[in-house]
Amino acid sequence: MGRPIDAILHASGSGGTQAGLLVALQALGADVPVIGISVSEPKAELEATVADLAARTAALLGTAAPPRAAVEVQGGYVGADYGQPTAGMREAVHLCAGLEGLFLDPVYTGKAMAGLIDLVRERRFKTDQTIVFIHTGGTPALFPYVDALTG
């Protein structure tokens, strides 16, 4: 679309997606922040995991590892535990389904979208910025959570 990407945001669980994105962007010389929304681990633990995975991946590829400062994880969206619904996730799932016909799962992308919505409300991003949200799948995970999403 000819617009620069100002940030990429996604669910970060094992850290693999985030590490891969960071290494790829570093190798391409693209200065695009990658923000992982933790769906499983405390912020500091997941940031350490992502940094380690990124360094090992870059070494395998023979390219420079992204700087540690490039690893950003937003915590606070996991809730009581991994896979447990949160109020923010419910709101995000309902908003995206109702407004865009976009189905988000409650375990990963629902919590990541809750994080994005929260960051927008906190004015982390400017209105003219282009933020890419990566929907990593998980739609089948909707079915076991019917009661949590409709109750």
Tell me how far apart the 2 most distant CA atoms of the chain are, in Å. 51
Q: How many angstroms separate the CA atoms of 43 and 57, rounded?
A: 21
pLDDT in tens, 115-144: 999 999 999 999 999 999 999 876 666 666
The verdict on residue 99 lying in a domain is no
Q: Which two tokens stand for residue 28?
A: 């391409």
Question: Looking up tokens 């950003």, which residue turns up?
Answer: 72
- On the question of pLDDT at 53 being above 90, the answer is yes
According to DSSP, residue 39 is labeled: S
The verdict on residue 142 lying in a domain is no
* For residues 53-62, average pLDDT: 97
pLDDT in tens, 14-40: 999 999 999 999 999 999 999 999 999
The verdict on residue 101 lying in a domain is no
Model pLDDT, residue 106: 85
The identity of residue 131, as a single letter, is I
Which residue from 100, 92, 99 is spatially nearest to 142, judged by alpha carbons? 92
- On the question of pLDDT at 145 being above 80, the answer is no
- On the question of pLDDT at 103 being above 70, the answer is yes
At residue 151 the predicted structure's pLDDT band, cuts being 50, 70 and 90, is low
The verdict on residue 42 lying in a domain is yes
CATH code at position 33:
3.40.50.1100
Percent over 70 (pLDDT), the chain: 92
Q: How many angstroms separate the CA atoms of 65 and 43, rounded?
A: 20
The verdict on residue 100 lying in a domain is no
Number of residues that make up the chain: 151
Residue numbers of the domain that contains 45: 7-83+112-137
Residue 51: is it exposed, middle or buried by C-beta count within 10 angstroms (0-12/13-18/19+)?
buried
Q: How many angstroms separate the CA atoms of 44 and 75, rounded?
A: 9
